[in-house]
A and B are shown apart, each in its own frame.
Chain A
Amino acid sequence: MTAHLPVLQVVIPLMAAALCAPLRWPRIAWGLAVLVSWTAFGIAIALLAQVLDAGTISYEIGGWAAPWGIEYRVDLVNAFVLLIVAGVGAVVAPYARDSIESEVAPGLIPLFYAAYLLCLAGLLGIAITGDLFNVFVFLEISSLSTYTMVAMGRDRRALTAAFRYLVMGSIGATFIVIGIGLLYSVTGTLNMADLAMRLPDVDATRAVPVAFGFLAVGISLKLALFPLHLWLPNAYAFAPSAATAFIAATSTKVAVYMLLRVFFTIFGADVSFGTMRLDYILMPLALVAIVSMSLVAIFQQNVKRMLAYSSLAQVGYMILGISVGSATGLTAGIVHLFNHALMKSALFLALGCVVYRIGSVHLSQLAGLGRQMPWTMAAFSLGGLSLIGVPLTVGFISKWYLIVSVLEVGWWPVAVLIVFSSLLAVVYIWRVVEAAYFLPAPEGRGVIREAPLSLLIPTWTLILANLYFGIDATLTAGVAGRAAAALLGIGS
Chain B
Amino acid sequence: MSLETLLPLALAIPALGAVLIALTGRSPNLREGVTFAAGAVLLLLIGSLTLQVVSGARPEFTLVELVPGLSLHLAVEPLGMLFALVAALLWPVNSLYSVGYMRGNGEGHQTRYYICFAIAISSVMGIAFAGNLLTLFVFYEVLTLSTYPLVTHHGTEKAMKAGRVYLGILISTSIGLLLLAIGWTWVAAGTLDFAQGGILAGNLGGPALALLLALYVFGIGKAAVMPVHRWLPAAMVAPTPVSALLHAVAVVKAGVFSVVKVVVYVFGIDLLAAETATHWLLYAASFTVVAASIVALKIGMERGNLKRLLAYSTIGQLSYVVLAAAILAPLSAVGAALHIIAHAFGKITLFFAAGSIYTAAHKTEIGQMDGIGRKMPWTMGAFAIGTISMVGLPPTGGFLSKWYMLMGAFQSEQLFAVGILVGSTLLNAAYFGPIVFSAFLRSPAESAEGDGHEHDHGEAPLPIVIATVTTATLTLLLFFFPDVPVALAEQMVGGVLGGAP
Give chain A's interface residues, CB within 8 Å of chain B: 385, 388-392, 396-397, 399-401, 403-404, 407-408, 415-416, 419-420, 422-423, 426, 430, 434, 437-438, 471-474, 477-478, 481
Contacts and interface: CB of A to CB of B under 8 A. Distances in A.
B9 interface: no
Contacts of B142: 391-392
A114 to B, nearest CB: 40
A403 B187 CA distance: 10
B344 interface: no
A416 B67 contact: no
B68 A478 contact: yes
Interface in B157-174: 157, 159-160, 164, 167-168, 171-172
Nearest to B141: A391
Interface in B276-292: none
Given A403-B179, A422-B175, A471 B145 contact: no
A396 B164 CA distance: 22
Contacts of B68: 474, 477-478, 481
B183 A472 contact: no
Interface string B174-187: 01110110011011
27 contacts: A390-B141, A391-B138, A392-B138, A392-B141, A396-B138, A399-B179, A400-B67, A408-B187, A415-B180, A415-B183, A419-B175, A422-B175, A423-B171, A426-B167, A426-B171, A426-B172, A430-B164, A434-B160, A437-B155, A438-B160, A471-B64, A471-B66, A472-B66, A473-B66, A473-B67, A474-B65, A481-B68
A404 B66 contact: no
Interface of B: 64-68, 72, 137-138, 141-142, 145, 152, 155, 157, 159-160, 164, 167-168, 171-172, 175-177, 179-180, 183-184, 186-187
Contacts of B179: 399-400, 403, 419
Nearest to B156: A438
Contact of A401 (B65, B67, B187): B67
A397 B176 contact: no
Contacts of A478: 68
B172 A403 contact: no
B211 to A, nearest CB: 10
A448 to B, nearest CB: 18
Contacts of B177: 419
A401 B152 CA distance: 33
Contacts of B186: 404, 407
Contact of A438 (B67, B138, B141, B155): B155
Nearest to A393: B141
A423 B157 CA distance: 23
Contacts of A390: 141, 145
Contact of B176 (A396, A404, A423, A471): A423
A422 B179 CA distance: 11
Nearest to A481: B68
Given A401-B67, A472-B66, A474-B68, 5 more contacts: A392-B141, A404-B186, A407-B180, A472-B64, A474-B65
B210 to A, nearest CB: 15
B145 A385 contact: yes
B198 to A, nearest CB: 19
Contacts of A397: 66-67
Contact of A403 (B67, B167, B171, B183): B183
Nearest to B137: A391
Contact of A400 (B65, B155, B183): B183
B65 A419 contact: no
The 4 nearest A-B residue pairs measured at CB? A391-B138, A403-B183, A438-B160, A477-B67
Q: Is the interface of B mostly helix, strand, loop or mixed?
A: helix
B199 to A, nearest CB: 16
A430 to B, nearest CB: 7
A466 to B, nearest CB: 14
Contact of B183 (A407, A420, A422, A438): A407
B123 to A, nearest CB: 10
A327 B236 CA distance: 47
A389 B180 CA distance: 13
Contacts of B157: 438
Contacts of A423: 171-172, 175-176
A329 to B, nearest CB: 13
A392 B64 CA distance: 11
Contacts of B66: 397, 471-473
Nearest to A473: B67
Contacts of A396: 138
B113 to A, nearest CB: 15
Most buried by A among B72, B137, B138, B183: B183
A401 B179 CA distance: 12
B18 to A, nearest CB: 15
Contacts of B176: 419-420, 422-423
A407 B187 CA distance: 7
A472 B68 CA distance: 9
B146 to A, nearest CB: 12
A249 B175 CA distance: 25
A62 B172 CA distance: 57
Contacts of B141: 390-392
A440 to B, nearest CB: 10
Given A390-B141, A419-B180, A472 B187 contact: no
Contacts of A434: 160, 164
Given A403-B180, A404-B186, A430 B65 contact: no
Contacts of A401: 67
A125 B500 CA distance: 68
B64 A389 contact: no
A403 B179 CA distance: 9
Contacts of B164: 430, 434
A404 B64 contact: no
A419 B219 CA distance: 12
Contacts of B65: 472, 474
Contacts of A419: 175-177, 179-180
Nearest to A427: B168
A153 to B, nearest CB: 33
A438 B180 contact: no
Contacts of B64: 471-472
A481 B70 CA distance: 14
